[in-house]
Amino acid sequence: MLGALHYGLAHGAAGVRVNFTSPLYVEAARGSNWWLYFFERDLMRFDAGGAACGDIALDGIVARFGRYGGFADVVQGSTPYLYPMTFGLDRRTLNRYVEQFATIRRDLRRAAVDRAATLFEPGAFVVGVHYRGTDAVHPRWDGFFRHYRSGRVPYATYAAEVRRVLEEAAPARYQVFVATDEQACLAFMRREFGNRVVAMDAPRAGDGGTAVHLDPSLSPWAKGESAMLDALLLASTNYIVKGRSNLSDASLVFNPDVPYSFRPDVAFAPITPAGESRNQTG
């Protein structure tokens, strides 16, 4: 969506209309366009609401997906597998598009603030960890057509990066917020960091289970809401340890100031010293 907004602005469009109808997230009682479950409006005008004009539907197979995933490559640049280490649009520009056009629903923002107040201890240095597992790994031959990792990043790699961050920040008190689609990852982090780990009560896949977003037994709404809340909560932490995933990419956009590690052996921003306040979502 952010890539589409940038493309539209750059090419003189009157605005962007969104109609997301994937059955993975549509819940009939909430309407056929799941974008509106989480965002304020599906028509984002760039002008002041001038004369009506027809839509140009960019939903064909090439326009929708393109080489790297349609408008996503506008954001991620020509090497999307390295995003956000390399990128086409910077975080502040993307955050401005969210604030101006792709506004998150007020009730969802409020829910994220309330959840953060429940999970995060006042004054604690919170390291957010996002581990995307299940279907995020693709066979090696897939690299000929798309840029994906072909092997799983061990949970221990993430735990080691959390320890590095904590050692550098040296906080008086810390917490580790874990956002993951794998129950085993959450269990591992709890063994590593004990009661310092906090997490949402969210749908997660068991060992060898179906990817959460593909699981037909789960509520489409619940899947989408938990993903949005995880992204917003990650954005309100002091530091994010992330892999390649659009969910934690969104967190970096929701809060363009939060420092992070990508492919957790490399840090890309200085760690905020312990004691300084977090940027809160809301």
Q: Please write the tens of the pLDDT for every residue from 224-281.
A: 899 999 999 999 999 999 988 899 999 999 999 999 998 766 656 667 666 554 544 4
Does one domain contain both 74 and 167?
A: no
Q: What is the pLDDT of residue 150?
A: 52
For the chain, the average pLDDT equals 84
List the one residue out of 247, 248, 257 whose CA is nearest residue 280: 257
| N-terminal to C-terminal alpha carbon distance within the chain | 21
Q: Range of 84's domain?
A: 2-100
Q: What is the pTM of this model?
A: 0.88
Does one domain contain both 113 and 227?
A: yes
In a domain, 9, yes or no: yes
In a domain, 166, yes or no: yes
Does one domain contain both 212 and 86?
A: no
Residue 187 clears pLDDT 80, i.e. is over it: yes
In a domain, 93, yes or no: yes
Residue 130 clears pLDDT 70, i.e. is over it: yes
Residue range 243-259, pLDDT digits in tens: 888 999 999 999 999 99
Does one domain contain both 243 and 261?
A: yes
Does one domain contain both 95 and 221?
A: no
How many domains are contained in the chain? 2
Does one domain contain both 74 and 15?
A: yes
Does one domain contain both 47 and 185?
A: no
How open is the CA angle 223-227-233, to the nearest 5 degrees?
Answer: 145
Does one domain contain both 129 and 255?
A: yes
In a domain, 113, yes or no: yes
Does one domain contain both 175 and 235?
A: yes
Q: Considering 100, 120, 138, which residue would you say is the last residue of a domain? A: 100
Does one domain contain both 139 and 237?
A: yes
Give the bridge partners for 16, in sequence order.
Answer: 44
Does one domain contain both 190 and 222?
A: yes
In a domain, 226, yes or no: yes
Residue 115 clears pLDDT 80, i.e. is over it: yes
In a domain, 126, yes or no: yes
Q: Considering 100, 117, 139, which residue would you say is the last residue of a domain? A: 100
Q: What is the pLDDT of residue 142?
A: 47
Does one domain contain both 248 and 154?
A: yes
Q: Considering 51, 77, 100, which residue would you say is the last residue of a domain? A: 100
CATH number for position 233:
3.40.50.11350
In a domain, 239, yes or no: yes
Residue range 67-96, pLDDT digits in tens: 555 788 889 888 877 888 889 999 999 999
Q: Are strands 43-45 and 15-17 parallel, antiparallel or unpaired?
A: antiparallel
Residue range 142-186, pLDDT digits in tens: 444 445 555 678 899 999 999 999 999 999 999 999 999 889 999
| Segment (H or E) for 125 | strand 125-131
Residue 204 clears pLDDT 90, i.e. is over it: no
In a domain, 281, yes or no: no
Yes or no: say if 229 and 125 are a contact pair by the CB < 8 Å rule: no
